[in-house]
């Protein structure tokens, strides 16, 4: 018979899942209701377009899952339509979250997954939010400390903002 402690969720995996829920909340806010031509917006020559950044976030999340599974594989996907890449974002978040929620082995440390691909994805979400402002379609600021971010809620349906400014 297994002990009660073996049934308790791994705190490091739970923190990663919270990071994914945070990414879904912040990322969803940054990509939602983007102007029709926003995918092609860039900050200048030699920089990624918003669509390329969104596709890269999908790449990072899919790479994270491959690392977690123990079969690390990087795929540099080309941008699709904005709506397709938004769907890809949430699909990849869902797949990674489901893996972390399972009892399957984590083939990399939680710390490495956080410091590498997950933190990189959060950085890129911030870039998209900044680009929205530069493109004339700003995303409202928010006190994320009071946001309703829930482990496992990684799809496009997110709680309403509690305190925007």
Q: What is the pLDDT of residues 61-88, one digit of tens each?
A: 999 999 999 999 999 999 999 999 999 9
Q: How sure is the predictor about 6, in pLDDT bands with cuts at 50, 70 and 90?
A: low
Contact 50, 116 (CB under 8 A): no
> What CATH number does residue 49 fall under?
1.20.120.450
Any idea what DSSP says for residue 38?
Answer: G
User: Domain of 120?
Assistant: 17-146
83 in a structural domain: yes
Q: For the beta carbon of residue 39, count every other beta carbon within 10 angstroms.
A: 21
pLDDT at 9 over 90: no
Tell me if residue 13 falls in helix, strand or coil: helix
**pLDDT value for 1:** 43
Read off the pTM: 0.93
126 in Cβ contact with 116 (< 8 Å): no
Q: Is residue 5 part of a domain?
A: no
The domain tally of the chain equals 1
CB 74, CB 63: distance < 8 Å: yes
pLDDT digits (tens, 9 = 90+) for 40-51: 999 999 999 999
Q: Considering the domain boundaries, does residue 11 fall inside one?
A: no
User: Is 65 part of any domain?
Assistant: yes
Instruction: Quote the CA–CA distance of 33 and 31 in Å, as a whole number.
Output: 7
Give residues with Cβ within 8 angstroms of 142, minimum separation 6: 29, 161, 162, 163, 164, 165
- 46 with 148: CB under 8 angstroms? no
């Amino acid at each position: 018979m297994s002990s009660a402690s073996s049934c308790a969720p791994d705190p490091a995996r739970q923190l990663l899942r919270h990071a994914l829920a945070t990414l879904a909340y912040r990322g969803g806010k940054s990509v939602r209701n983007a102007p029709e031509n926003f995918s092609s917006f860039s900050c200048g020559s030699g920089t990624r377009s918003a669509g390329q950044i969104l596709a890269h976030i999908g790449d990072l999340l899919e790479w994270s899952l491959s690392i977690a599974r123990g079969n690390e594989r990087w795929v540099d996907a080309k941008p699709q339509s904005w709506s397709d890449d938004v769907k890809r974002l949430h699909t990849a978040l869902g797949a990674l979250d489901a893996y972390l929620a399972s009892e399957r082995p984590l083939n990399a440390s939680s710390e490495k997954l956080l410091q590498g691909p997950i933190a990189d994805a959060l950085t890129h979400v911030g870039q998209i939010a900044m680009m929205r402002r530069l493109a004339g379609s700003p995303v409202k600021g928010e006190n994320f400390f009071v946001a309703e971010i829930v482990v496992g809620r990684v799809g496009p349906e997110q709680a309403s903002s509690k305190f925007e400014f």
